[in-house]
Structure 1
Amino acid sequence: MEEQRVRPGGPPAWWGHGPPWRDGADGEERRARWPWRSTVLLTAFVLAGSQIAARGQLDERAALDPFARVLLLIAAGQLLWRHRCPRAVAFGTAATVAVYLGAGYPYGPVLLTVAVACFNAIVAGHRRAAWAALGMLWAAHVLVAHRLYRWLPPSGDTAASWGQEAVTAAWVVAIVALAELARARREQWARERAERAQGARRRADEERLRIARELHDVLAHSLSVINVQAGVGLALLDTDPEQARTALTTIKGASKEALGEVRQVLDSLRTPGDAPRAPAPGLDRLPELVEAAADAGLAVRVEGTAPRLPPATDLAAFRIVQEALTNAVRHSGSRHARVRLTREAGALRLRIDDDGPAAGADAGGGGNGLAGMRERAAALGGTIEAGARPDGGFSVIAVLPLAPPHREEEDR
């Protein structure tokens, strides 16, 4: 079974993100380092604790001798490989402890080596191996305590009570339960981390899309005005210098406005989370759009007034009107357009019409402009309808809720 991979993070190092025994991209480096410190401390504890335990079991168990100490060292020393070979260490410690107990040596901290090895194996994903090692140790203990005790030290030993076996079984169950709990928690940490990473990627994608829409709308509108006015200026440069000057003045104003809006968008990249230096545009700047369209040769009539709108809805409405008028300037042969604003059933209805005919293959604009309008409307729970009119013109109809749908906070 492949081990789950979790990275730590936050105070303390693993709290809320993964246990200290976890695997991960840096877990490979962790496993490459041998757990010397913990193994040495555990070995010292097992040796000292077994010595103390032996004093209290002199009348029941065999005294510690050099062979017993060698077994203690082997059982604890195997834990040095517990991260690299968890299954082998689980079986190895269980077999060593079975020999130690079969030889009649005292019960004590030596059992901790099996607990640590099997705990580590279960958390690492090798559940069956850990269960099998614990089952093997318990079966060996039952066999020695109830069948082989007559031929094994210490001499004169009697069969163990089944109550003692129940305690041993409870000890085994406790290890398994604790390890399974840790493994389940570890997998939960891994899922939570994956969800956080997915949420971060989604937010980054949404932010990139938002910035791309803003830049497209700003640049498409401004460059369309600049392109038209540059053509007018070139055409009238010799015959009507004053009108050419007016066209150049319009180009200067449009480029300055575009640079300011582009700078505002880019500032959000440099200082994420800070408040923008200038308010986002809204329908209060609709007269500026009408004036810019007039400079480009498109007369726009506005019907109705916009109600008070939330900032996001106000920006979306402004950009939709801006994009629709830009498409009319670039792709329509009409010199007249209408913008109608009405309020209906808790929503703002925008309708932008031009009289056509289309000046090129893309009557209402290319894919990015219309796609951007649809994305803006959809983000607010609204709709966009755009298409050619029967009389040859082009129409864009947007319905934007005045109260955007509530979105539950994600990836807390």
Structure 2
Amino acid sequence: MPVQPTAPVPDRERVPQQITVLIAAAFVIAIGYGIVAPVLPQFATTFGVGVGAASAVVSAFALARLLFAPAGGRVLNRIGERPTYVVGVLVVALSSAATAFAQSYWQLLVFRGLGGIGSVMFTISAMGLIVRLAPPRMRGRVSGYYSSAFLVGGVLGPVVGGLLAGFGLQAPFLIYAAALLVAVAVVHFRLRDEDLSAGGDRGVRPVMTVAEAWSVGAYRAAVASNFANGWTSYGIRVALVPLLALAVLGAGPGVAGLALAVFAAGNALALTVTGRLSDRFGRRPLVLTGLVVNGLATGALGLSQDVVWFLALSLVAGMGSGTLNPGQQATVADVIGPDRSGGPVLARYQMSADGGQILGPLVAGALAEAAGFGWAFGVSGALMLVAALAWLPVRDTMERPGPHSAPRPA
């Protein structure tokens, strides 16, 4: 028998070139943000303010994202995803450059707040582009790739920032601005208007309202789990883990930093496979698994009494977060679909994570002071389990080919 030639990888299995452009831009943006994040509080203290005021500069960015998200969704519907992305990244670049030359604490606060406005614009528009361009059969995989790009860039950023420490506190902000200009140039020149034509003319695409999306149980569940994940993975993880390491374990900043790195490693490890799994087995099973794993690990973290368990539970929690994210984001994409504009829908989804990230440290911090770290992490872990309950009655949104395809959930 003649030997059959090896079949090439079919085009339907390849990630569209337009999405690889967005992933590359996300990586560049994340590296820049990682360069700035460790320096910002130190830079704020050069204006003679205390720890609380220096921390407020960090919160100003997140608060601006939260408050401007609804308006950002309306901007996206009016001018389209690509222009909103470009404008948003340019706003962050200009605000970062201005931050480097701030002459007072209040100027610094305003410039960072403006950066938050630009940040939510490009975040929502990037999600909108992925919804529009990613084929339904690989939405989970694309969400995993996009999250991985941000994660890896965020891990490498502080390393690069450390190498630049000798150039002064202003240098990271200027480098971040330059990185953002690189990212916006990549998207502007590589993602052309004709590349978006497959999704339909943005001027005539109907707009999905928040009320329509909210009527779908899967969207309500995604908002709930995104809030819980913002609370735990992005909120108390950064705010309370270092304090837990110091107060309970007697460990220094090195162990706290290692715990955050281990969490990121677990997240990255899970993201390498869970995106594909959510495209194969459905969104709901992966989201439920991730919520339960993250919730149990987070709750147990507050009871840690030695460094080994502390690091092991951080790894497991990171894997849980990486397991739920691709399916959760793919669910929102499934609900909107490629033929509708979903600016306000994406904005509310993003607001849920930002709200959890802001509220989590405040509530959990108060609990830690009043009743101890066990209660703070226990309540945070329980919040993840409550979010899992919201997914139990939900039907999966993944489209299944064939005559027995599951109907669109109501």
TM-score tier by shorter-chain length is under 0.3
Q: Which structure shows the higher helix fraction?
A: 2
Q: TM-score, normalised by structure 2?
A: 0.24
Q: TM-score, normalised by structure 1?
A: 0.24
Higher relative contact order (CA 8 A, sep 6+): 2
